[in-house]
């Protein structure tokens, strides 16, 4: 097992975020970013990066995750339905900024590169989906959400609008918008009560 130097790991993740930060005039896109450029910015060798990450996409995903998880926590100390609202709002707030455009680029890369898609699912999507499902299951156990539906389906209904708005730049990613989405999902859309 390879033991990482925490200093080098942090330097690599910080260098990647710096290079991708669109607020800088010399920012790169995910597509134009390279392992060589990350290594040069971080002051490490390419070999060091490849020892810990299999690809550029894996570095970018871990860079994003390093910041994302800290800024989008799932609280355990409040009722699940409130935790869902806070989580949904925190994700939308992060995605409303430059990090949202970064994740958009990453998702775009996934569409034509199966290896990037596999890394995205392994390092980010799978874990975050399970976090959402666990939260939905907790809400079901607390009787805040009906328990006769798939927790995954409920998670998709609640979280998918964020990605739709992010990827198509169509609709606000604001706390108010997230509250409206959650309220609509929880209330349902049938006016007659029929399925």
Residue 1 vs residues 39, 52, 80, 173: alpha-carbon distances, Å: 22, 10, 38, 42
pLDDT at residue 2 greater than cutoff 50:
no
Q: How far apart are CA 112 and CA 120, in angstroms?
A: 13
Q: What confidence tier does 191 reach under pLDDT thresholds 50, 70, 90? A: low
Q: How far apart are CA 16 and CA 38, in angstroms?
A: 6
Q: How do residues 121-163 score in pLDDT, each as one tens digit?
A: 998 899 999 999 999 999 999 999 999 999 999 999 999 999 9
pLDDT at 109: 87
Share of the chain above pLDDT 70, in %: 95
Residues 28 and 68: beta-carbon distance below 8 Å? no
Share of the chain above pLDDT 90, in %: 62
């Amino acid at each position: 097992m390879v033991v990482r130097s925490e200093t080098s790991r942090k330097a690599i993740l910080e260098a990647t975020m710096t290079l991708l930060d669109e607020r800088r005039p010399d920012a790169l896109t995910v597509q134009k970013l390279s392992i060589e450029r990350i290594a040069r910015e971080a002051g490490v060798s390419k070999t060091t990066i490849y020892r810990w990450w299999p690809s550029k996409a894996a570095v970018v995903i871990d860079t994003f995750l390093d910041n994302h998880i800290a800024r989008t926590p799932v609280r355990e100390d409040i009722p699940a339905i409130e935790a869902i609202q806070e989580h949904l709002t925190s994700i939308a707030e992060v995605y409303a900024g430059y990090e949202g455009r970064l994740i958009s680029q990453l998702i775009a890369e996934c569409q034509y590169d199966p290896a990037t898609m596999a890394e995205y699912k392994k390092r980010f999507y799978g874990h975050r989906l399970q976090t959402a499902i666990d939260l939905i299951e907790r809400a079901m156990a607390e009787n805040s959400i009906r328990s006769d539906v798939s927790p995954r389906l409920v998670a998709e209904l609640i979280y998918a609008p964020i990605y739709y708005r992010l990827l198509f730049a169509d609709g606000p990613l604001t706390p108010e918008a997230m509250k409206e989405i959650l309220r609509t999902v929880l209330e349902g859309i049938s006016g007659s009560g029929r399925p």
